[in-house]
Amino acid sequence: MDASSLAIQSDEKILVGTFPFNDAAIIRYSNDGTLDSSFGTGGYVSGNGAAALAFQSDGKIVAVARSSLLRYNSAHPIMKFDPVRISLGRSFTATFSGTNMTDQTYFDVRYRYPGDDTDQVVLNWQHGLSAVHSVTTDTVVGPWEVTGVRPHQSASDHTPDFIPVSTALTVAP
């Protein structure tokens, strides 16, 4: 399998289109180079190969395969922090993007404290695609990792599955 195209998503995940046309059309890697098993089936989307890759403004993946133009409807949310390193007592902005998300979407977040390997959950952590959050002075210092996001349209509906993400925010003294 040879790579014929390469694209980098806004969350820095790497998409590789394959050529010649074989069983895998697109493979996605995390920004550290490991296979992103949350994409497609075990990191792969099967198809007729992908000679070229691009992104629509809504984050959907567009691929050229043979004489076809394919659009992949991924519900995988993208989460960003600005800034990604924040001092105690300061604020940061969390922004979400992805398919079927609006300013009325609620976001449950699954995360890990610095130095802990147990997931915690906050329901309705954010309402809307972008919001400012404050870091209190008693917050644990170190890298906080978001491991999953659950977008939903009703504040009381927490039934959808969490979608795996890997986004970090470092809290400094």
Q: What are phi and psi of 99, to 5 degrees?
A: -70, 140
68 and 82 co-located in one domain: no
The secondary structure of the chain in percent helix, strand, coil, rounded to multiples of 5, reads 0, 55, 45
Residues 126-165 pLDDT 10s:
999 999 999 999 999 999 999 989 999 999 999 888 887 8
Tokens of 104: 């009325």
Question: What is the Cα–Cα distance from 148 to 112, expressed in whole angstroms?
Answer: 10
Mean pLDDT of the chain: 83
pTM of the predicted protein model: 0.60
CATH code (residue 125): 2.60.40.10
> Domain check: are 99 and 121 in the same one?
yes
Sort strands 85-87 and 163-172 into parallel, antiparallel or unpaired. parallel
Q: Which CATH number belongs to the domain containing residue 16 in this structure? A: 2.40.10
- Please identify, among 24, 47, 72, the residue that sits at the C-terminal boundary of a domain: 72
Count of domains for the chain: 2
**Are 164 and 82 found together in one domain?**
yes
- The pLDDT assigned to 156 comes to 95
* CB of 5 closer than 8 Å to CB of 17: yes
Length of the chain in terms of residues written: 173
Answer whether 112's CB lies under 8 Å from 118's CB: yes
* Full domain range(s) for residue 119: 78-172
Distance CA 113, CA 60 (A): 31
